[in-house]
Amino acid sequence: MKPTVSVEMRQICKQFGKVAANDHVDFSANAGEIHALLGENGAGKSTMMCMLSGVYRPTSGDIRLFGKPVKIRSPKEASQFGVGMVFQNFRLVQTLTAAENIVLGEKSSFWRGARWMKEKQEEIRGISEKFGLAFPVDRPIWQLSVGEQQRVEIVKTLYRGASLIILDEPTSVLTPGEADQLFLTLEKLKAEGKTIILTTHKLKEVMAVADRISVMRKGRMIHTVDKNDTSERELAQIMVGKEISPPRELSKRERGESLLSVQHLDVYVEHGRKALDHLSLEVHQGEIVGVAGVAGNGQKELAEVLSGLLPWKKGRIVFNGREMKNASVRHAIESGISHVPENRMKSGLAGSLGVVDNLLFKSYRTKERSWLGFLRIGRNRQWSQELVEQFDVKTPDLDTPVQQLSGGNQQKLLFAREIHRQPLLMIAVHPTQGLDIGATEGVHRLLANLRDSGKSVLLISEDLDEVMQLSDRVLVIYNGAIIGEMSREEADRERIGQYMAGLQDNGEEAV
């Protein structure tokens, strides 16, 4: 039996200014299949899907939905055609309840009394139970977990009668357990004859759940294969366009003396929320310590406390044999702590300033860089030029605003600034987020080199593969505390996943 084609996109082009995000892309998916759209960051997957859901309009090309040629001019029209999309950054109004979010687009019935809302809540519960998507319908979104928010998003598309459901990087925010649960739901939807399109760059997921796979690279469609006719390795090669080097082997090293010791740290943040709860950890000289965990369990705060941005309430921090008394960024910098923050354009670099200025941020006080408060312009330019060459930052010139550089080059620049100061400890938060495989490889090499030269690295990342590949020791953070510790040899995905979900070795929930 020939499957029914539910969506067909032909020769799609999309220009953003001078940049072509999609270049003559063909794509099609069938009813009753899970179709994975695979590609690196910036390959143009999300742009394709945004055109299907009416957020962007194609510059040229045709779209056919369920056999009919259509022009999708707005998200509203997309929804009328039966297309529903779950965005990577959820489209939910934080202050409204889950149910209110779901009925938001509904035009019927002007008056929304208590009875009307009750009926709707029942209807929503019915849908969510049918597909195993439980969440509290009457609570505001900001009180729900990320996994629950995603379920709200999926139920929202179903409630609006979508028969084509697009999920953009759905597992990037989930624990491995939650991801498995999502895949079960997708299977149920597939059995109902829905078309599921899933964009991702994670090969394991693709092999686990997809029926067919389309691979994109640099805005072009490379090709579409059946899952049974391919392998992870082959997909990775198509995706990157070249042979990938095998996983990095860390050279054996004896661990040195203790460099950083954090003891029973309590940190409170906005709204009196307790972000770190009795957190203790130890970092030795010459080791990379990886901190894994689901986003929002205190990673950001841990990095901010150690780099002097956030004060702490209770506990001790001893660095290089001296106790840190209170939060001071300058003191942290001067005692040899470097920080690569999680959002490089938000708290790492000043986007509209040039390369030289950005490199100067942490060293302008030194005698080599300034004199009596005047910057040594000529000397600093030469110094910047050397760093740019040493760290292989590709930039048109030294005055180019850094926001115009690619993500990989921005990150290299940031690393150049942080590493040239010869720090004792490097705190790297999501250092490869949004980078392509080549740039990721470069960042990993920098971190490994630091370690091999006897420096220490605290690597905080949500990318399990990255943590397992680079770390001498793996810690798992949950609810503001370290609840699991493993050596490199002991660490495996399943065990880390369990800790990430807050479960102890015996399967009981951590307090």
Partner 1 sequence: MDMFIQIIVAAVGSGTPLLFATLGGILIERSGIIQLGAEGLMLMGAVAACMTYLNTGSLALALLAVFAVSALLGIIHGFLTVSLVSNQIVCGLAMTLFGAGLSAYLGKSYSGIPLPGSVPKWHMPGLESIPLIGDLFAHLDVLTWFSFLLVIVMHLFIHRTSWGLHLRAIGDNPPTADVMGIRVQAFRYGYIVAGSMLIGLAGADMLLVYSPTWTEGMTSGRGWIAVALIIFARWNPVRALLCAYFFGALDSIGFRVQLLGSHIPSYFLKMIPYIVTILVLMYLGWRNRNKPSGAPEALGIPYIREQRF
Q: Which residues bind partner 1 (CB under 8 A)?
A: 16, 53, 55-57, 74-76, 79, 85, 87, 89, 91-96, 100-101, 103-113, 270-272
- 54 or 431: whose CB is closer to partner 1? 54
- How many CB atoms sit inside 10 A of residue 49's CB? 23
Residue with tokens 């779209």: 63
Write down the least CB distance from residue 306 to partner 1, Å.
24
- 56 or 131: whose CB is closer to partner 1? 56
Residue 153 CA to residue 160 CA, distance in Å, equals 11
Residue 365 CA to residue 119 CA, distance in Å, equals 65
- 107 or 322: whose CB is closer to partner 1? 107
Give the residues across from 22 on adjacent strands: 14
Token pair for residue 217?
């690279």
Sign of CA dihedral 240, 243, 247, 248: negative
Residue 91 CA to residue 83 CA, distance in Å, equals 15
Sort 262 into a burial class: Cβ within 10 Å, 0-12 / 13-18 / 19+.
buried
113, 110, 155: which is closest to 131 by C-alpha? 155
Write down the least CB distance from residue 14 to partner 1, Å.
10
- 71 or 188: whose CB is closer to partner 1? 71
- 96 or 353: whose CB is closer to partner 1? 96
- 149 or 461: whose CB is closer to partner 1? 149
292, 250, 240, 302: which is closest to 447 by C-alpha? 250
- 112 or 493: whose CB is closer to partner 1? 112
Write down the least CB distance from residue 271 to partner 1, Å.
5
Write down the least CB distance from residue 323 to partner 1, Å.
29
Residue 51: CB partners within 8 Å, gap ≥ 6? 9, 12, 14, 22, 57, 58, 63, 72
Write down the least CB distance from residue 165 to partner 1, Å.
14
Residue 366 CA to residue 362 CA, distance in Å, equals 9
Write down the least CB distance from residue 52 to partner 1, Å.
13
Residue 181 CA to residue 501 CA, distance in Å, equals 13
- 46 or 200: whose CB is closer to partner 1? 46
Write down the least CB distance from residue 210 to partner 1, Å.
25
Token pair for residue 499?
């800790």
Write down the least CB distance from residue 56 to partner 1, Å.
6
